Amino acid sequence: MRRKGHLIIVSGPSGVGKGTVCAEIMRQRPSLKLSISATTRPKRPHELSGESYFFYSMEEFQDLIDQNKLIEFAKVHGNFYGTPRDYVMDNLEKGEDVILEIDVQGAMQVKENLDEGVFIFLLPPRVKDLADRLHNRGTEGEEEIALRLKNSEGELANLHNYDYAVVNDEVEKCAETILHIIDAENQRIDASLMKKYREEYHD
């Protein structure tokens, strides 16, 4: 019997490096499943639908909501983002660990809607680093950066709703720490483990 997989939520303010950290986690452990989100955000140059995101029109995104195809969705910095339900649920059922890289509003919805998940909050070494990262990334204009920084203060206020906080001072180390958390979660004693051993005693 396989134990159900864990749902790992990697979240935190814009500019903290969630995307880079998740890419590094996948590089270090490609067997993990990274959920690809749906979004109405315009595609950036070099982005491909189905790779970084599934890109949808607002009408198509609304259809996904109406058909209950998203576990959570949120308007983040002016665009909609959501987590496709089938991919996540199918993999969890198969016993795979699934990673969601989502914003704080979405993470709180997962907590409420699914009543499961390991919630990891990524922190910058200093708040100032968020601004630096957003500027260096160069994918947002000044106005957009100001909006994201303003939102990050409210996001930090949600820290207490998470299980773990990991400082992203060095991407490789940060990814390793998250993998240690996942490994520890997989050693937790839960009902399915108890059931397995009880059944073995009565075989």
* List of residues contacting ligand 5GP (CB under 6 A): 14, 18, 37, 41, 72, 74, 76, 81-83, 101-103, 105-106
- Which of 7, 102 has the CB closer to ligand 5GP? 102
**Minimum Å distance from CB 178 to ligand 5GP?**
15
CB-closest chain residue to ligand 5GP: 106
**Minimum Å distance from CB 132 to ligand 5GP?**
16
- Which of 3, 144 has the CB closer to ligand 5GP? 144
- Which of 5, 15 has the CB closer to ligand 5GP? 15
- Which of 30, 42 has the CB closer to ligand 5GP? 42
Give, in degrees to the nearest 5, the angle at Cα 157 between 153 and 158. 125
Please enumerate, as own/partner, the contacts of 155-160 that have beta carbons within 8 Å and a separation of 24 or more.
Answer: 155/12, 155/13, 155/14, 155/103, 155/104, 156/13, 158/104, 158/107, 158/108, 158/121, 159/121
**Minimum Å distance from CB 42 to ligand 5GP?**
9
- Which of 161, 192 has the CB closer to ligand 5GP? 161
**Minimum Å distance from CB 169 to ligand 5GP?**
19
**Minimum Å distance from CB 93 to ligand 5GP?**
20
